[in-house]
Chains A and B, each alone.
Chain A
């Protein structure tokens, strides 16, 4: 079964760090670009990061650039988002998603999301 499953969310204080993981199964993970998209409570979707098949190049939204490095481990079929210097406005559900092919800017397969809450 083709699937993405996020983990690692939780409650963290402002300025703290959190590492999100996304486990892929049912497809050849190393063949696909991957991305992270977030959704603040009751709000719309916001793209935040994108990584190529081999881990470089990577791309970031201005809102997370320099704070949220994205990475992947193709041997472990896993995608990661290291979230540093967290702010209240980073509170959101974080989704990992698969990109259908390298020149696409859409997301064809999504995980169920993991909730990150930044609060003191």
Chain B
């Protein structure tokens, strides 16, 4: 069982917006602004989309945005495109046990 909880799957049509949630505790996600989001396309290595809750690395599309409220973080993808299909993982610093915890991943399907 993953330390952070994500929905197993989400879907949306091209052009729509979707949001993926990631729920933790006050000892990890809720207590620190070290939330990251990764995209993993089939057979590929993960790619960093968001770090420190809402910061996009250079080269990442503005269609990807992150936020956090309490113990839940969210990744929003606007203007959904077919190339956005894949698995999305959240992660956070954790003050207990392991230092970095991941969510179980969310499979995004573009209809």
Contact between B98 and A113, CB atoms less than 8 A apart: no
Contact between A47 and B57, CB atoms less than 8 A apart: no
Docked complex Cα distance between A103 and B46 (Å): 21
Interface residues of A in 92-115 (CB under 8 A from B): 95, 100, 104-113
Partner of A45, one of B57, B97, B99, B102: B102
Interface contacts (Cβ under 8 Å), in number, total 64
Contact between A113 and B45, CB atoms less than 8 A apart: yes
Q: Which residues of B contact A95 (CB under 8 A)?
A: 45-46
Q: Which residues of A contact B97 (CB under 8 A)?
A: 62
Contact between B93 and A110, CB atoms less than 8 A apart: no
Partner of A46, one of B38, B51, B57, B102: B102
Partner of A106, one of B36, B45, B98, B103: B36
Docked complex Cα distance between A50 and B91 (Å): 15
Query: Max chain A CB contacts within 10 Å: which of B99, B103, B105?
Result: B99
Tell me, yes or no, whether A88 is within 8 Å of chain B by CB.
Answer: no
Partner of B52, one of A35, A47, A106: A106
Counting contact residues on chain B (CB < 8 A from A), the size range is 20 to 34
Contact between A45 and B98, CB atoms less than 8 A apart: no
Contact between A105 and B100, CB atoms less than 8 A apart: yes
Partner of B48, one of A35, A47, A59, A108: A108
A interface with B by C-beta (< 8 Å): 35, 37, 44-47, 50, 59, 61-63, 95, 100, 104-113
- 17 A–B contacts, CB within 8 A, in A order: A37-B46, A44-B103, A45-B40, A45-B91, A45-B102, A45-B105, A50-B100, A61-B98, A104-B34, A104-B51, A106-B34, A106-B51, A107-B36, A107-B46, A108-B57, A109-B48, A110-B45
B interface with A by C-beta (< 8 Å): 2, 34, 36, 38, 40, 45-48, 51-52, 57, 89, 91-93, 97-105
Considering the complex of A and B, which 3 residue pairs feature the smallest CB-CB distances, nearest first? Answer: A47-B100, A106-B36, A106-B51
